[in-house]
Homo-oligomer: A and B are copies of this chain.
């Protein structure tokens, strides 16, 4: 009897230490998410305001994002090795391992936008301060925020909203591409600038894709099945069939 109580207390002790581990790694993921959101915000501001100093900040901070990825990855490995989690706990760890890859890539895209901002700052700044890009940027920032928020709260309904937002992102992205193409055809002197606008739009569109991936991991954690290429794609296909075909 005493032995049973002791062993139960011991397993509870292990389990609570395990919970602490999980909580700690989850908190670190969200801190990394916060930093990545900040990087994205700054890169877009640098673009809109032709702010070279800010663009330089983004490039410098990219290493920090990368370090966080490596640290969290190592922590997840340690938890897998020492605690051998099962079921939902295991899926949480694997989802974190996947999500940090997407966060790191969002950081990469922010760095690319910062490099584009540096190049564009050398040209005459347009009066509309790249209005379309700013608009697309806001949509994409919201997607990243929603995906991280759904991850934090394990909220499947909120996660399923993210791919729907992505449809709007795709529409805006395609509209920017068409516009750039028209400008380039009309005025060859605009080619260089318009290609950079095109690249920035592409980077933002990819950020949206990564946000969608993170949202998918939420469903995977909670429901224990991989909905990628299935449920979300069905939803998307249904919504997409109302608008256009596949983008390049």
Please give the residue numbers on chain A whose beta carbons come within 8 Å of chain B beta carbons, in ascending order.
63, 66-67, 69-70, 73-74, 77, 80-81, 84, 86-87, 90-91, 94, 97-98, 101, 112, 115-116, 119, 177, 181, 184-186, 188-189, 191-192, 195-196, 198-199, 202, 226, 228-230, 246, 248
B74, B198, B228: the one contacting A226 at CB < 8 Å is B74
B66, B202, B228: the one contacting A228 at CB < 8 Å is B66
Q: Residue on B with the closest CB to A76?
A: B94
Residues of B within 8 Å of A186, CB to CB, are 188
Residues of B within 8 Å of A98, CB to CB, are 97-98, 101
Q: A63-B229, A66-B228 are in contact. Are A90 and B97 (CB under 8 A)?
A: no
- Within the assembled complex, what's the spacing in Å between the Cα atoms of A69 and B119? 39
- Within the assembled complex, what's the spacing in Å between the Cα atoms of A230 and B74? 14
Q: Number of copies of this chain in the oligomer?
A: 2
**30 CB < 8 A contacts A-B:** A66-B228, A66-B229, A69-B228, A70-B226, A70-B228, A70-B229, A70-B230, A74-B226, A77-B90, A77-B91, A77-B94, A81-B86, A81-B87, A81-B90, A97-B97, A97-B98, A98-B101, A101-B101, A112-B248, A181-B191, A184-B184, A184-B188, A184-B191, A185-B188, A185-B189, A186-B188, A188-B188, A191-B191, A196-B248, A199-B248
B81, B86, B94, B185: the one contacting A191 at CB < 8 Å is B185
- Within the assembled complex, what's the spacing in Å between the Cα atoms of A66 and B234? 14
- Within the assembled complex, what's the spacing in Å between the Cα atoms of A198 and B199? 11
Residues of B within 8 Å of A77, CB to CB, are 90-91, 94
- Within the assembled complex, what's the spacing in Å between the Cα atoms of A195 and B247? 13
- Within the assembled complex, what's the spacing in Å between the Cα atoms of A199 and B198? 11
Top 7 A-B residue pairs of the complex, sorted by shortest distance between their CB atoms: A84-B84, A66-B229, A185-B188, A70-B226, A199-B248, A184-B191, A185-B191
Q: Residue on B with the closest CB to A116?
A: B248
CB distance from A234 to the nearest CB of B (A): 12
- Within the assembled complex, what's the spacing in Å between the Cα atoms of A112 and B247? 8
The residue in A69, A73, A184 that gathers the most chain B C-beta atoms within 10 A of its C-beta is A184
In the complex the two chains form, is B66's CB within 8 Å of A80's CB? no
CB distance from A75 to the nearest CB of B (A): 11
- Within the assembled complex, what's the spacing in Å between the Cα atoms of A162 and B185? 39
In the complex the two chains form, is B248's CB within 8 Å of A115's CB? yes
- Within the assembled complex, what's the spacing in Å between the Cα atoms of A13 and B146? 47
